[in-house]
Structure 1
Amino acid sequence: MLLAALAIQSCKETKKEKETVVEEETTEVKADKDGFVQIFDGETLEGWEGDPTYWSVQDGSLVGQVTPETLLENNTFIVWQGGQPSDFELKLEFKIADSGNSGINYRSDKIDTIPHALRGYQADIDGKIRYTGQNYEEKKRATLAYRGEKVIINTQDNPDEPGSLSANVQRNCWQSREVVDSLGESDSLKTKIKHEDWNEVHLVINGNHLQHYVNGILMSDVTDEDAVNRKDAGHLGVQVHVGPPMKVEYRNIRIKEL
């Protein structure tokens, strides 16, 4: 009888454990009413990979920090481990120090020769609000669209020639691009971005159409027709940049696959 009772109890506990696991798994993937799923828990770096010298969790935020003792030789990223999204929307909030330089990389490749480095599209962010909102391609085609621009990216001439990629970048800007419309003056749009305070970024990445919103305002719009150099899927991560000591904070990071 005792063995039977223990067996029944064990079965009940096993069932209860399974129910708990299912409940936890359901909680992890549960989307909000708009279909977005949280990918940062606000408490740990679980699901993210980066150098803990520069990345930590503080007061519910994912924090990237460079100190006088930890100055960088290369830009460093913390990379989401949940997949390599193709078509998606991403929403998050950021706050960055005046001296800060950061960005949100997406559809990016990892660089084997540099630890925790990404190459690819970036929603640029900086503390002085010179670049925030623009579309910059890290370690590749450089600036694709400045803040306030709607742009079509074309394939450069002779793309198969050695060195053609770097040769088509001048003054840190990709030359095979056409500005087809204005979204507003850059300085005017700058006033919509809060200095050293929380701002919301919303990326809408669908096919070859890449839109960067800050605080609900479209800041840059890129249609990438460059079939040679564009990427259709890749890693997602956030950056701390080479330069002076700085701090950037990210929170409420949510993604919706399209």
Structure 2
Amino acid sequence: VLLTMLFAGACAVAEEQQLFNGKDLTGWEGNTDLWSVQDGCITGRTTKETPAPGNTFLIWKGGEVSDFELTLKVKFTTEPDNGFGNSGIQFRSKVADPAKFVVGGYQGDMATTTTYFGMLYEERGRGILDNVGSKVLIKEAPEPAGTLGKPDEILAGLKPTEWNEYRIVAKGSLIRIYVNGRQTIELDDQSKAAASAGVLALQLHAGPPMMVQFKDLVLKPLK
């Protein structure tokens, strides 16, 4: 029995995949004027001299994901005086313009504005699907399906300019997002527009100068 348990545990660990080697952008594709590795972290940065012409993405080249758990750490470094930072994690998404690294689909949102940190958005699609603290069911139109608590309480430990843990769990039609261990949203997307598989990507939002960093990206397929 002990050997069986050890073997099962080993298999579970083996299924986990580190998406970033901590050294360079091997396995990822994006605009290298905007994406780089700094201090051992994937770093997306815009400046006055190198702005993003539009929302742009660093795309993981490891294939499509379907049912999975993705965990990572993220933080923003805002330029002086503007306080701007906007990013996200695309999943089950599609590459809309390979030449410009444009992606559309589900996005776990994150921003220096805590209202958006942990909500679910659909890039180049239906817009906001689920706000922090809400459970939503979509068949034809979004319907309230319950509550997870008050957004301010759920995100009480959030400090956007420090490292925060972000976790996405997608299984069938059900999508959950967690920030620092607290569940922020739950979406059951049973609509015709729902996506069951697609690419992973990191977003760098157009706008004022900003920097976002990612590390410890771990993907675990779910069966």
TM-score (norm 1): 0.77
What secondary structure, in the 3-state scheme, does the structure 1 residue paired with 2:153 have? helix
Alignment of 1:233 with 2:187, yes or no, is no
Structure with max Cα Rg: 1
What secondary structure, in the 3-state scheme, does the structure 2 residue paired with 1:188 have? helix
Query: Unaligned regions of 5+ residues in structure 2, if any?
Result: 1-9, 78-82
Q: CA deviation at 1:32?
A: 7.5
Equivalent AA in structure 2 for residue 251 of structure 1: K
Distance in 1, matches of 2:212 and 2:11, equals 26
Runs of 4+ in 1 over 3 A off after TM superposition: 30-35
Tell me the equivalent position of 2:66.
Answer: 86
User: Which of 126, 147, 154 pairs up with 2:111?
Assistant: 126
CA change 1:254–1:244 in 2 (3 A) is same
Distance in 1, matches of 2:11 and 2:91, equals 21
Distance in 2, matches of 1:209 and 1:245, equals 35
What secondary structure, in the 3-state scheme, does the structure 2 residue paired with 1:131 have? coil
Which range moves more in the overlay, 55-64 or 193-202? 193-202
Q: CA deviation at 1:33?
A: 3.7
Q: CA deviation at 1:42?
A: 0.7
Higher strand share: 2
Q: CA deviation at 1:72?
A: 2.1
User: Which of 45, 66, 75 pairs up with 2:55?
Assistant: 75
Distance in 1, matches of 2:199 and 2:150, equals 31
Tell me the equivalent position of 2:7.
Answer: none
Equivalent AA in structure 1 for residue 33 of structure 2: T
Q: CA deviation at 1:102?
A: 0.1
Query: Unaligned regions of 5+ residues in structure 1, if any?
Result: 1-29, 156-175
Equivalent AA in structure 2 for residue 220 of structure 1: I
What's the CA shift string for 1:5-42, capped at 9, x where partnerless?
A: xxxxxxxxxxxxxxxxxxxxxxxxx9874842201001
Alignment of 1:181 with 2:146, yes or no, is yes
Tell me the equivalent position of 1:139.
Answer: 124
Cα root mean square deviation, aligned: 1.6
Tell me the equivalent position of 2:3.
Answer: none
TM-score (norm 2): 0.89
What secondary structure, in the 3-state scheme, does the structure 1 residue paired with 2:207 have? coil
Whether the 8 Å contact between 1:31 and 1:37 is mirrored in structure 2 is no
Distance in 1, matches of 2:160 and 2:32, equals 27
